[in-house]
A and B are shown apart, each in its own frame.
Chain A
Amino acid sequence: MSAVAQQAPKKAPTPKARKSLNAGQARNGLLLVLPTLLFLSVIILYPLINAVVISFEKDAGLDKATGMFVQGGGAGISNYTHWLLQQCGTESCPPGTLGAQFYSAFWVTIFFTVVSVAIETVLGIWFAMIMNRDFKGRALVRAAILVPWAIPTAVTAKLFYFIFAYDGIANHLLGNIGLGPFLWTSDPWAAKFAIIIADVWKTTPFMALLILAGLQLIPSDVYEAAEIDGATKWQTFTKITLPLVKVPLMVAVLFRTLDVLRIYDLPAILTNGVGGTTSLSMLVVSQIRAGGFNSASALSTLVFLLIAFTAFLFIQFGGADVIKRPPGAKKKKDAAPPTAPAATAVAAQSGVTP
């Protein structure tokens, strides 16, 4: 699949040592991933390739010359230039058409992604640290924090639609402390933040729970050692906790980022694109509804490229060692974080994360 997968073989670590020990690993490994591959190729890869193929075809429709309904035929890259170069037919798209909204949708999607993921990460780490302590009613708190994620997005969006109505509860509460009223669903900035607030409310639990699971892997003796060495709480957090939950944290951030880049339900129900809040996925759906299925496929392929590029950046520069860590790197201490002696090494080493 495009850029990312082609990069993969190049990036693969090639430690070919100890062949005898690793004999059979290749066969076993392939055998174990086979079910996944079969599954994904049938259910997802096929429709995915299908979508890419039709993005290079013309929309079916009435032929202007004959008045007959015709299947599209090849379109080259015209579906792509429609979005990227804003070309509708031979001229540039007039303002207000779906094609002309591409760049605004692009930037607002990026804006949603950066702001929501940043807030969710900070809150998520904080919640996870709280939930990781031993206290009475911990199970209850953990379950309560999880619940927003268990509410269907469609319902969350409706709920926040009422909350953010002009004379809704949000304005009512803010009015009590002398703020507002805000036009939450139409003012450009208020509408963006209404969506971000709803998204943060819904998905911080996702982050928190993943980080919580990651925290379980940190052995307590590392903390004891840090305490004996006189580390402050902040040092303990930045030099031990953060580096040691880095892998699950990066997976969570990566998947959240991919998720927000595809955001649809929330803005669709909450603001319906008013105030420049049309996300890329909303544009795809509007285009499908307008009958332009092939150009919609082109747009979703563009969204895919954007997401693939983001994922590539993440893996390359962010939590790279999610994958890079050589499997079965025996006796190489810094490759296995949660062993007590190695932990300090890892902590010291990843103090400056790229």
Chain B
Amino acid sequence: MSAPAISWRRSRPWALPVVGLAVGLAFLWPYLVMLLDAFRPSEDVVQTPPSLLPRVWKWSTFGEVLGDERFLAWLKTSLLVSVASTAIVVLVAVPAAYATARFRFPGRMAFLFVVLVTQMFSPTSLVVGIYREFFSLNLVNTYLALILTNAAFNLAFAIWILHGFFSSIPVELEEAAELDGCGRFATLRRVMLPLTLPGLVTATVFTFIAAWNEYVVALTLMLDDTKKPLTVGINSYVTGYEQNWDQLFGASIIAIVPVVILFAVIERHLVGGLTAGSVK
């Protein structure tokens, strides 16, 4: 073994954690900045030179935000829209991904491409067409419009990722299930879905987060202040007339909570080795 390899072997036990810690800190410190900004009066956030720690501590921000009826209304919209569009995406994407991974039918590849094409147009260039369309359907300013749009925007990713997962499950497993008397549907439910749980979890989390973060369409479609989702609503904390940076960052931190809860609930399904030794 060469000299550099030996010295690497020796330094490895402490070098890797140090580098890992540095990268971890680099990723974590913007949260810290955000949290500290929520605990100081708004004037202190913009005051120069900036200080890492608040010059004046202010503890009431989170109470103010949670007591704000507008904030609660935005939170409700975000939750409703994200949950509903995620449900639609999973229900529509699973059959489509399964079909493209397992069945041969004409236009299968064209289908996957068309799905991908919907991801190639910037939302900013679609939003006018979407507004016109919902306007003619009398759906502007409704939750339904926002739910449908978010679902459509995220279908492509869900289908592609699930397609990848479905096609990587050995066909032998399905054949075995069929031999044991399972129908197509039972095979999908009892064999395929449990095995693709990591993919399903990924698709769910990503759709939820994407819907949770959607901005341009919500800005255009939702006219009532109380029907806006969080992403659009929290901008009214900082406008030309009033600047409440503390509340903006406080609201942003609260807005992370549902995502973390969702992830904590389904994270345990991101476990591997489910197909280990399944086909010998």
The residues of A with any CB-CB pair to B shorter than 8 Å are: 1-2, 4-5, 7-9, 11-12, 15, 22, 25-33, 35-37, 39-40, 42-48, 50-51, 123, 130, 132, 139, 142-156, 158-160, 162-163, 165, 167-169, 172, 201, 204, 206, 209-210, 212-221, 247-248, 251, 254-255, 258, 262, 264-265, 281, 284-285, 288, 293, 296-297, 300, 303-304, 307-308, 311, 322-323, 325-330, 336-340
State whether A5 touches B95 (Cβ < 8 A). no
State whether A147 touches B259 (Cβ < 8 A). yes
| Contacting residue for A152 out of B93, B123, B230, CB 8 A | B230
State whether B159 touches A167 (Cβ < 8 A). no
What is the 8 Å Cβ interface bit string for chain B, positions 18-30, against chain A (1 contact, 0 not)? 0010010001101
Interface of chain A: mostly helix, strand, loop or mixed: helix
The 8 tightest CB contacts between A and B, nearest first, are: A47-B129, A29-B105, A216-B272, A300-B125, A219-B276, A43-B152, A29-B103, A32-B99
Rounded to whole angstroms, the CA-CA distance of A144 and B27 in the bound complex is: 9
| Contacting residue for B111 out of A37, A284, A330, CB 8 A | A37
How many chain-B residues does the 8 Å CB contact rule pick out?
Answer: 112
State whether A221 touches B31 (Cβ < 8 A). no
State whether B100 touches A327 (Cβ < 8 A). yes
State whether B109 touches A8 (Cβ < 8 A). yes
The answer, yes or no, to whether B274 is at the interface (CB within 8 Å) is yes
The answer, yes or no, to whether B239 is at the interface (CB within 8 Å) is no
State whether A1 touches B161 (Cβ < 8 A). no
Given contacts A206-B206, A255-B160, A336-B170, 12 further A-B contacts (CB under 8 A): A8-B109, A11-B109, A35-B96, A39-B155, A143-B263, A151-B252, A155-B252, A158-B248, A172-B52, A216-B274, A281-B124, A323-B112
State whether B50 touches A159 (Cβ < 8 A). no
CB-defined A-B contacts under 8 Å, sample of 25? A8-B109, A8-B112, A8-B113, A26-B103, A47-B130, A130-B20, A148-B27, A150-B259, A159-B249, A162-B37, A167-B48, A209-B206, A213-B199, A219-B276, A258-B119, A265-B215, A284-B125, A293-B128, A300-B125, A308-B120, A311-B116, A322-B164, A328-B102, A336-B172, A339-B170
Q: Which residues of A contact B125 (CB under 8 A)?
A: 51, 284, 296-297, 300, 303
Question: B39 to chain A: closest CB distance in Å?
Answer: 15
The answer, yes or no, to whether B176 is at the interface (CB within 8 Å) is no
| Contacting residue for A26 out of B104, B157, B159, CB 8 A | B104
Q: Which residues of B contact A12 (CB under 8 A)?
A: 108-110
| Contacting residue for A28 out of B99, B148, B230, B277, CB 8 A | B99
State whether B103 touches A152 (Cβ < 8 A). no
Closest partner residue, chain B, to A209 (CB atom): B202
Question: B244 to chain A: closest CB distance in Å?
Answer: 13
Whether A147 touches B260, Cβ cut-off 8 Å, given contacts A218-B272, A340-B279, is yes
Rounded to whole angstroms, the CA-CA distance of A130 and B17 in the bound complex is: 11
Within 8 A of A (CB), among B102-148: 102-130, 132-133, 148
Q: Which residues of B contact A265 (CB under 8 A)?
A: 215
State whether A152 touches B215 (Cβ < 8 A). yes
| Contacting residue for A155 out of B117, B175, B234, B270, CB 8 A | B234
Rounded to whole angstroms, the CA-CA distance of A325 and B104 in the bound complex is: 11
Q: Which residues of A contact B157 (CB under 8 A)?
A: 255
Closest partner residue, chain A, to B273 (CB atom): A220
| Contacting residue for B161 out of A43, A154, A251, CB 8 A | A251
Whether A300 touches B276, Cβ cut-off 8 Å, given contacts A151-B252, A323-B109, is no
State whether B50 touches A172 (Cβ < 8 A). yes
Question: A269 to chain B: closest CB distance in Å?
Answer: 11
What is the 8 Å Cβ interface bit string for chain B, positions 85-99, against chain A (1 contact, 0 not)? 000000011011011
State whether B164 touches A248 (Cβ < 8 A). yes
Q: Which residues of B contact A142 (CB under 8 A)?
A: 263, 267, 270
State whether B268 touches A147 (Cβ < 8 A). no
Interface centre among B20, B108, B280 (most CB of A within 10 A): B108
Q: Which residues of B contact A162 (CB under 8 A)?
A: 33, 37, 45, 50
State whether A339 touches B279 (Cβ < 8 A). yes
| Contacting residue for A5 out of B96, B117, B205, CB 8 A | B117
The answer, yes or no, to whether B165 is at the interface (CB within 8 Å) is yes
Question: B204 to chain A: closest CB distance in Å?
Answer: 11
Closest partner residue, chain B, to A11 (CB atom): B109
Whether A36 touches B92, Cβ cut-off 8 Å, given contacts A28-B103, A281-B122, is yes
State whether A154 touches B119 (Cβ < 8 A). no
State whether A169 touches B159 (Cβ < 8 A). no
The answer, yes or no, to whether B236 is at the interface (CB within 8 Å) is no
State whether A251 touches B205 (Cβ < 8 A). no
Q: Which residues of B contact A308 (CB under 8 A)?
A: 117, 120
State whether B104 touches A22 (Cβ < 8 A). yes
Q: Which residues of A contact B165 (CB under 8 A)?
A: 213, 217, 248
The answer, yes or no, to whether B256 is at the interface (CB within 8 Å) is yes
State whether B168 touches A167 (Cβ < 8 A). no
